[in-house]
Amino acid sequence: MRLGNNNAYLPLRVLCNADRTQIIENLSSARTFLLHCRNGQICEAVMRNLVKIMTENDILEAISKSGYLFESEIAKFMSDFGYFVESNTVYKDPLTGKNREIDLIAESIKENILGVNTKIRYFFELKNNDFPLVLLTELQFNPNTPEEIFKEIITVPNGIQYDMLSGFWENLVHKNQPLFTQYCSFTKKNNNQIMASHPEELYSSLNKLSWYCEYEFVRTNKLFDRLSTVYFRHWLYLPVLLIKDDLYELTIENNESKLNKVPFSRLLFNFHFKNKPRSTTIYVVTKPYLKDFLQDMNILEHEVARKMSKNN
């Protein structure tokens, strides 16, 4: 196909190499170019692409919907709130060999009480959820309930008597707060019907969050086993799923289902680590409650340090 004389190509060259301002200024030239082109469909396609130029508001809206803006906001908030923050930590998936990312890892910046060291290290996955998240099927504690549902790292020097369960475990397990074993969110079918399900993206986030937290927990424990136990440490590795909003707990009361909207909750999640079954407690927290959640955990961290200092 030929397009007439060579001058007909000039507006197209200008359009292809110009920035956005130049493109807008050359719209009239583009319309002139239509007259020189024998294939109107090609020229109409050029014009349609020009119309699709994104404004800054379009860019921000698209980023916000994708979740990237959510991650940036939380990283900035955590840093301003007094935490060391690592963003997008990469690890290799042991099953696929592909690189995976953990959205955020954080720990507080603080001065430790002399002679003792406490720490809560947070592992975050962030979900800019469009649909509510529901936790259901409350855990009924029994002899088969896994012991290591909270990932604690403890080293006690010789000569010190320390009740390990009186630290994080006692506060986290025995609080009047339910622990759920099932979750669901929702998807929209082609006929606009809403279905409750385990969305693959959500399951993938929970699984990699649990796996990486376990990996770091095991790695650190091995490291401390090889080192001297002259240091008095009590650390907690805590996986957190942070969602935008709309978190519910479904409970059964008098044989009736009841939905309660909550700012945070806890999910007992089962997974495999090095071909062995594992369980962990994932804290599910809504964005509006994040500050209160961190303050409560800071209080707990200081309480554990105070108990340790009494034994030192």
Percent of the chain with pLDDT over 90: 48
Task: State both tokens at 78.
Answer: 């955590």
Mean pLDDT of 52-63: 80
Q: How many CB atoms neighbour CB 153 within 10 A?
A: 18
Contact 206, 123 (CB under 8 A): no
Residue 19 has pLDDT above 70, yes or no: no
More reliable by pLDDT, 309 or 112: 309
CA distance 77 to 13: 46
For residue 27, the model assigns a pLDDT of 45
CA distance 215 to 202: 20
Q: Where are the domains of the chain?
A: 6-53, 63-311
Mean pLDDT of 239-243: 98
For residue 38, the model assigns a pLDDT of 46
Give 86's pLDDT tier (boundaries 50, 70, 90): very high
Mean pLDDT of 11-40: 45
> pTM of the predicted model, to two decimals?
0.80
CA distance 31 to 47: 8
For residue 63, the model assigns a pLDDT of 78
Per-residue three-class SS string for 163-185: CHHHCHHHHHHCCCCCCEEEEEE
| β-bridge partners, 135 | 183, 249
More reliable by pLDDT, 164 or 246: 246
> Among 98-107, 181-190, 208-217, 228-237, which stretch is predicted with the lowest mean pLDDT?
228-237
Residue 50 has pLDDT above 50, yes or no: no
CA distance 294 to 240: 11
For residue 215, the model assigns a pLDDT of 96
Task: State both tokens at 312.
Answer: 């030192």
Mean pLDDT of 123-140: 94
Residue 26 has pLDDT above 60, yes or no: no
Give 176's pLDDT tier (boundaries 50, 70, 90): confident
> Among 37-46, 113-122, 248-257, which stretch is predicted with the lowest mean pLDDT?
37-46
Q: How many CB atoms neighbour CB 13 within 10 A?
A: 9
The three-class DSSP label of residue 282 is: strand
Percent of the chain with pLDDT over 70: 80
Picking from 122, 120, 110, 109, the residue whose alpha carbon sits closest to that of residue 74 is 122
